[in-house]
Structures are given as C-alpha cells and as structure tokens.
Amino acid sequence: MVEKLIEAIRNKKITLALLGSGRVGLSTAAIFAEAGFHVIAVDIKPEIVNTVNNGISPIDEPGLQELISHNVKIGRLKAALMSDNLFNRMDAIIVSVQTPITQDKKPNLSFLINALEDVGKILKKEILVTISSTLAPRTMLEKIRPKLESLSGLKSDIDFYLAYVPERIAPGNAVKEFINSPRLVGGVGPKSTKVAAELFRTVCKTVIETDATTAEIAKLAENTFRDVNIAFAKELALICEQCSVDVMEVIKLANTHPRVNIHMPGPGVGGPCLPKDPYLLLNQSKLVEYDVIKSARVVNDYMPKHIVRLVLRALKEAEKGAGSSRIAVLGTAYKADVDDSRLSPSEPVIHYLLELGANIIVYDPYCREGFGAEIADSLHEAVKDADCLVIMTDHKEFRNLCLKKVRMLMKDKSAIVDAKRIVNPLKAEKLGFLYYGVGFVKRGYKDIY
Ligand code: SAJ
C-alpha cells in the first residue's frame, strides 16, 4: 500500500493541506503548489485566508508573492479556514503551527495540540502527516504519535505515516532556503520516513533520512549552536570594551585561523526561533550542573540592558540626562531586511529608555512596530533634533547611512550607539559624534558599572 502512495506523490496526484499558514507554512504551501500539487493552506485567521485567496501574500518574503498569485490564479493553491472542513479529501497534511515556550521556559504545545485534534478526527488509512513545527526532544514519540493514534484508532507506520520534517528556513530568504537547504526527514518508523522523504524530494534539492527524535534534536542543535556562538561573540565584545580594544578587529584576526569562525556581537538575539529553541533542547535535560546553553541565553538576554548602559554613558559624556534627551532608535525588526519584530532586542531597549523618561522616536523601513515609542516615517524625521542615535538593526538603509547628513540634523554633542557595528567609528568621530559601539568603547569604562 505504501508503494501506491509513493507513486501518487511522484506523479503529483495527491492533495496536500498545510496547517498553519504563517511564514513557514505559507512558503511551504506555495512551493508545493508551484511543484504541481493541489494545496490547501489552512489557518485560523480569516484575514490570512482572504488575502491569500485574493492572490496576495500576507507576508513580505522575496519570491512568495509571485508564487502565491500564480498558483491561486491557476487553482492549485487555495486558502481555507480550519472550520471549512476541507480536510476530508487530503492525502498528506503538513503541520506548521507555532510552538512557543511558556513563561517558565517550557514547551507550549497548545497550538499544536489544537491542530492535532483536527488532524486526528479526519485521519484515515494511507494518509501522511508531517510536522514542521520545532519540537522538544521526543515530542513526536511521546506526545504526537499517541495523540493521533488515540484520536483515530489507527496505528502509525502501519495504517498511516507520521514524520518530523523540521523547517530550516531563515526569514527573508525562506523560498530559496526551502529549496536549497538539505531537508531532514525523520519518521516514527521506516515506512513513514520513506513516504515523507518522497514528498519532500519533489521540492527540496537534498533530503536526508533519519528518525524522528534525531531530527528533533538536530533541528534544536542548529539554532542552539548559533545562540551559543553569538553569546560567545558578545562576551568577547564586553571584554574588549573593558580593554579599550575593538572587538571587530579581534574577531577579524581570530577568524584568520582556519578552524575559527566567531559570530557577530549585537544588541541581543531576537526572532521566533533562537531565543526559545535552546530551552526546548533543555526541556528534559537533568544532568547538567554548569550549563553552557543556559549561560548563553543569559548573556544574550543581558545585551539590551548593556545597550541602554552605553546610551547612558554616551549621554553622560555629552553632559545630557536621559529624561531630557531625544533618542532615535533605528530598527525594530529583529534582524536585517525583514519585517519581523518578534522578540526583537529593540523592545526591551525601548522599554528601558522609556522608563528612564527619554523621548524616543523609532524608524524601521520594514516594520511599523514602535514598542510604545513614537514612530517616524523616515530616517531623517527620526534623527532630526535627536541627542543620541541607537542603531539596533543592520537594515540596508542603515548600512548606507549618510553620516554627514545625520550629523547636520541631530543636536549638538550628539552620540551614536552602534549595536550592530555598521558605522565606522573614526568617520563618526571625525564628524563630531560621540561614538559608542558594542565591543568598542574608546574612553574608559569603569563608570558604566
Ligand atoms: N545574530 C547575531 N549575531 C550573528 C548572527 C545573528 O547577533 O552573528 C542575531 C540576529 O541579529 C537575530 C538573531 O541572532 O537577532 C537570530 O538571527 P539568525 O539570522 O541567526 O536566525 P533566524 O532566527 O532568522 O533563523 C534561524 C536559522 N537557523 C540557523 O541559522 C541555524 C534558520 O535557518 C532557522 O530555520 C530558523 O532559525 C528557525 O525557524 O528555526
């Protein structure tokens, strides 16, 4: 029987449902539709469903708009509400709902469980279910498999197929990375792995077969590796600040070693994945007394506070107080050239500065998020009459900043706090700015602490 499903997949004769039409789910739906499958993108939000059915992408992701408009037009892609009950005709279901963490850093599976309730009710023999949401180790075996089996009365890897296929796409490059990044496929049994691998081979250049738990841990390991490395770069930046040395120079020199690749320091780690995935990895871990993963989280979470300290230091040097200063914050997106501000380090920085009574104005060319501060429509509007400029995101527009013009618009004795290290410190100082960068503090340090 499994051969029949594989044959249908190869001939693109199956209908697919995507549960959860966010950045990942919608990109997945559009890519499978483009490959020739009939796809239904399901979501609980009517505004997403309506937008997609009008051929418009609700998400700003390069290439996605073209895929959606083309495939909606030719009838291969359709969006639907969960309540539309279109599931009954599905041959494969890809679940891509969010799996956040709770306040106490434990997995919050409520969205996933809701989605599984719907899947379980319509599950029939010979259907493939794959999960792309990020999961703590053993969630497939201990939570998802029993849930679907008990709801359907069917046996996984015998009656239906179940696999974990973690997404590995970076926002801002989702479509390209979906196709080009090797895709891990881990079934709860060998048949499940085989069927799911066949499905993903129709759209991904490389598919690597493994088991469900290995795939869960590999996915978490990737993001945790990055988080730990970023924390290392940040600690290095703090050490360099104390020694009045430029961390960028240190990283450049150290990276000339053939086995060293230090990441970039910055204002913290944001986005929907890196700040939570290390906690998912640690979910059931009991064995560690001194824990590098948790420590990295602490370092990364500390950085927004450090940026505020640099701002206060800069204002003090300019003989100004936070309460009487106008501060322009550039960037509320969590990283360069995306419109996503989830868990952005700009949020705590803006909140701390607002608490200190500062007058904050923010500008982001992609995001209309202000985190409680006034929002400017342009860079020049934001910097006009500001005492301090805080660069939080390295958007292209900010990397090409005309410092001279900015200097003219800002107040006398104005400062730059460069959390992304995109401004040349010498150039800034030559133009009369007081310059403070993460990992570069020229004028002593002691009174910051
Ligand atoms: N950051 C630094 N220094 C660096 C690199 C990043 O401070 O050297 C910061 C960024 O500014 C940002 C945060 O880290 O605030 C996260 O950005 P990112 O580009 O590292 O990652 P995401 O969250 O956009 O996407 C990651 C990716 N994982 C890896 O690169 C290992 C992506 O492939 C995953 O699909 C995604 O997480 C996910 O959904 O899990």
Query: What tens digit of pLDDT does each residue of 63-78 get?
Result: 999 999 999 999 999 9
Q: How far is CA 149 from CA 6, 89, 123, 143, 190, in A?
A: 22, 19, 9, 10, 17
Residue 223 Cα to ligand 1 middle (Å): 7
Give strand pairing partners of 254. none
Give the ligand 1 atom nearest the CA of 336. Answer: 11
Strand 326-330 relative to strand 77-81, pairing: unpaired
CA of 271 from ligand 1 middle (Å) equals: 7
User: Would you name the residues annotated as active-site residues?
Assistant: 219, 273
Ligand 1: which of 99, 223, 238, 302 to mutate, most ligand atoms within 8 Å of CB? 223
Report the separation in Å between the CA atom of 247 and the middle of ligand 1, taken as the mean of its atom positions: 20
Nearest atom of ligand 1 to the alpha carbon of 344: 15
Query: Starting from the edge strand earliest in sequence, which strands make up the sheet with 388-391, in order?
Result: 374-375, 359-363, 326-330, 388-391, 415-418, 434-437
CA-nearest residue, atom 30 of ligand 1: 223
Ligand 1 pocket: which of 99, 251, 274 to mutate (most atoms within 8 A of CB): 274
> Cβ of 396: how many Cβ atoms within 10 Å?
9
Q: Residue 153's pLDDT is what?
A: 96
d(CA 23, ligand 1 centre) in Å: 15
Distance CA 125, CA 141 (A): 19
Q: Measuring CA to CA, which residue among 222, 43, 221, 214 is closest to residue 140?
A: 214
- What the block records as the tokens of 279 is 């906690």
- Nearest protein Cα to ligand 1, atom 13: 269
Chain centre to alpha carbon of residue 372:
22
Tokens found for residue 426 = 């010498």
Ligand 1, atom 40, residue with closest C-alpha: 273
SS3 of residue 242 by DSSP: helix
User: Angle between the 212-242 and 247-254 helix axes, to the nearest 10 degrees?
Assistant: 130
- pTM of this structure: 0.94
How far, in Å, is the centroid of ligand 1 from the Cα of 385? 34
pLDDT in tens, the chain (449 residues): 789 999 999 999 999 999 999 999 999 999 999 999 999 999 999 999 999 999 999 998 999 999 999 999 999 999 999 877 776 779 999 999 999 999 999 999 999 999 999 999 889 999 999 999 999 999 999 999 999 999 999 999 999 999 999 999 988 899 999 999 999 999 999 999 999 999 999 999 999 999 999 999 999 999 999 999 999 999 999 999 999 999 999 999 999 999 999 999 999 999 999 999 999 999 988 766 678 999 999 999 999 999 999 999 999 999 999 999 999 999 999 999 999 999 999 999 999 999 999 999 999 999 999 999 999 999 999 999 999 999 999 999 999 999 999 999 999 999 999 999 999 999 999 999 999 999 998 764 444 43
The atom number, within ligand 1, closest to the CA of 234 reads 7
Query: How far is Cα of residue 251 from the mean position of the Cα atoms in its chain?
Result: 25
Nearest CA to ligand 1 atom 20: 226
Bridge partner residues of 94 (DSSP)? 18, 130
Contact between 303 and 268 under an 8 Å Cβ cutoff? The reply is yes
Strands, DSSP E only, in 340-427? 359-363, 374-375, 388-391, 415-418
Report the distance separating Cα 351 and Cα 371, nearest Å.
7
Nearest atom, ligand 1, residue 167 CA: 35
- Please name the residue whose Cα sits nearest to atom 9 of ligand 1: 269
Task: Give residue 307 CA to ligand 1 midpoint distance, Å.
Answer: 20
- Strand partners of residue 128: 92, 161
Helices (H), 74-144: 110-122, 139
Q: How far is CA 81 from CA 41, 53, 267, 328, 421, in A?
A: 8, 11, 39, 41, 44
Instruction: Point out the ligand 1 atom lying closest to the alpha carbon of residue 222.
Output: 31
Phi, psi of 437 (to 5 degrees): -125, 155
Residue pair 67/59 in contact (Cβ under 8 Å)? The answer is no
Q: Given the DSSP bridges, would you call strands 161-164 and 183-187 parallel, antiparallel or unpaired?
A: antiparallel
Ligand 1 atom closest to 269 (CA): 15
Q: Whose CA is nearest to atom 14 of ligand 1?
A: 269
Q: Are strands 77-81 and 374-375 parallel, antiparallel or unpaired?
A: unpaired
Cα(234) to centroid(ligand 1), Å:
15
Pocket, ligand 1, Cβ cutoff 6 A: 134, 167-171, 222-223, 226, 230, 263-264, 266, 269-271, 273-274, 334-335
Cβ atoms of residues 421 and 440 within 8 Å: yes
Predicted confidence at residue 289, as pLDDT, reads 67
Sheet with 92-95, strands from edge to edge, namely: 77-81, 38-43, 15-19, 92-95, 128-131, 161-164, 183-187, 207-211
pLDDT number for residue 287: 67
Report how far ligand 1's centroid is from the alpha carbon of 111 (Å). 23
Q: Which of 28, 264, 303, 335 gets mutated to test ligand 1 (max ligand atoms within 8 A of its CB)?
A: 335
β-strand partners of 17: 40, 93
E strands along 268-344, which residues? Answer: 326-330
- CA 127 – CA 156 distance, rounded (Å): 10
Residue keyed to tokens 């703090």: 238
